[in-house]
C-alpha cells in the first residue's frame, strides 16, 4: 500500500470525527440534504403529472400544462405546479416543525433570566421571548437547515424557470439572513417565529394561486377571502408586532450589551422584507375589493365580460 493511499485511508477514517466537531460543516451538509429532498419532491410531482396528463395534451378542463405562461415568465404550468408542490410540503412541514420546536423549548424562551425584559407595555414585560436563545438547543439548527435547503432548491428553480426579480430577491435575502444565524451561536428563535408567521398562510396561498392558474373559479372564489384575511392578519398585524418585540430584544438591552452581529443583520433583512410584504398586502386587499365589486356587477348583468383578477399571486 502506497503512502498516499495510507494517508487517504486515515483521512476517511477521521472524517466522521471531523464532522462531529465542526457544527458549520454539519449544517451545510444538512442544508444540501434538505435541498436534495425538496428537489426530489419537485421531480416526483413532475413525473406523476406526466403519467396523469401526458405531455402536449390538454387536461380534461382544457388547461395547457406545457405551453409558456406569461405570468410565470414563460414557464409552463406543469413546472410551476411541481415547484409549488415542494413549496406546499415545506410550508406544512416547516410550520409544524418550528411550532413543535418552540413548544419544546417554551420554558427557555419564556424564562425571565433568558429574555431579560427591558420595558413594560399593556402589562406585559417585553421582549416576550428570548430570541437570542442558544442554537445548541436540540433541534434548533436542524429546523433552520430544513428551510435553508428548501430555499436553495427553490432559488435554483426560480433562476432557471421563473426569473422574477421579486422572487429572486426574496429567496436570496432569506438565505443571506438565515445562513449566518445557523453558523452563529444564537438567534434560532427569531427565525423560527418569523417562519411560523410566514408559512402559516402559504398552503392557502399556493392552493389559491393554482386554482386561479388551472381555471377552478369556484375553488378560487372560496379561497380568496380566506387567504386575503389570513394574510392580512399574519403579515399586517402579527408579523409587525413580532418584529417590534424582536427589536426590543436586540436593540433595547441594558448596560450597552449588543446582540450578536448575525441577529442584527438578519433583523435588518427581515425588516425590509416586512415592508415589501406590506406593499403586497395593500395590493392584495385593493385587488380583492375590485375583483369582488366587478363580480357582483357581472352577476347583476351590468358587465358583459367576466372579471379578471389582476392581483399578483407571487407574494413574498
Q: What is the b/e burial string over 9-37, where b = at least 16 CB atoms within 10 angstroms of the residue's CB?
A: eeeeeeeeeeeeeeeeeebbebbeebbeb
What's residue 312's pLDDT? 52
Residue 271 has pLDDT above 60, yes or no: yes
SS3 category, 93: helix
In the structure grid, which three cell numbers stand for residue 15, read together? 472524517
pLDDT tens column, 38-66: 999 999 999 999 999 898 777 767 788 99
Domain residues of the chain, as ranges? 24-299
pLDDT, tens digit, 9 for 90 and up, residues 136-163: 999 999 999 999 999 999 999 999 999 9
pTM of the full predicted structure? 0.86
What average pLDDT does this structure show over 191-206? Answer: 96
Counting Cβ atoms within 10 Å, is residue 75 exposed (0-12), middle (13-18) or buried (19+)? buried
The CA-CA-CA angle for residues 315, 230, 109, to 5°, reads 95
Mean pLDDT of 74-83: 96
pLDDT, position 289: 87
pLDDT (tens digit, 9 = 90+) per residue, 242-270? 999 999 999 887 655 678 899 999 999 99
Question: Per-residue confidence at 1, pLDDT binned at 50, 70, 90?
Answer: very low
Amino acid at each position: 500500500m502506497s503512502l498516499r493511499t495510507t494517508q487517504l485511508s486515515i483521512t476517511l477514517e477521521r472524517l466522521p470525527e471531523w464532522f462531529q466537531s465542526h457544527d458549520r460543516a454539519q449544517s451545510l451538509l444538512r442544508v444540501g440534504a434538505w435541498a436534495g429532498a425538496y428537489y426530489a419532491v419537485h421531480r416526483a410531482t413532475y413525473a406523476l403529472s406526466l403519467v396523469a396528463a401526458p405531455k402536449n395534451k390538454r387536461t380534461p378542463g382544457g388547461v395547457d400544462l406545457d405551453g409558456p405562461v406569461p405570468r410565470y415568465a414563460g414557464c409552463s404550468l406543469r413546472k410551476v405546479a411541481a415547484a409549488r408542490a415542494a413549496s406546499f410540503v415545506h410550508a406544512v412541514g416547516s410550520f409544524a416543525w418550528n411550532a413543535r420546536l418552540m413548544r419544546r423549548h417554551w420554558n427557555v424562551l419564556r424564562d425571565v433570566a433568558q429574555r431579560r425584559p427591558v420595558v413594560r407595555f399593556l402589562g406585559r414585560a417585553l421582549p416576550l421571548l428570548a430570541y437570542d436563545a442558544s442554537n445548541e438547543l436540540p433541534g434548533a439548527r436542524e429546523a433552520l437547515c430544513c428551510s435553508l435547503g428548501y430555499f436553495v432548491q427553490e432559488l435554483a428553480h426560480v433562476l432557471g424557470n421563473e426569473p422574477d426579480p421579486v422572487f429572486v430577491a426574496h429567496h436570496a435575502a432569506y438565505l443571506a439572513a438565515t445562513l449566518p444565524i445557523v453558523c452563529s451561536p444564537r438567534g434560532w428563535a427569531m427565525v423560527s417565529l418569523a417562519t411560523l408567521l410566514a408559512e402559516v398562510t402559504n398552503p392557502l396561498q399556493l392552493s389559491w394561486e393554482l386554482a386561479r392558474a388551472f381555471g377552478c373559479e369556484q375553488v378560487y372564489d372560496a379561497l380568496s377571502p380566506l387567504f386575503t384575511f389570513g394574510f392580512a392578519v399574519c403579515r399586517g398585524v402579527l408579523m409587525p408586532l413580532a418584529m417590534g418585540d424582536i427589536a426590543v430584544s436586540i436593540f433595547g438591552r441594558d448596560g450597552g450589551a449588543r446582540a450578536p452581529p448575525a441577529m442584527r443583520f438578519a433583523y435588518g433583512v427581515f425588516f425590509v422584507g416586512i415592508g415589501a410584504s406590506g406593499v403586497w398586502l395593500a395590493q392584495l386587499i385593493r385587488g380583492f375589493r375590485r375583483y369582488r365589486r366587478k363580480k357582483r356587477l357581472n352577476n347583476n348583468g351590468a358587465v358583459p365580460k367576466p372579471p379578471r383578477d389582476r392581483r399578483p399571486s407571487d407574494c413574498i
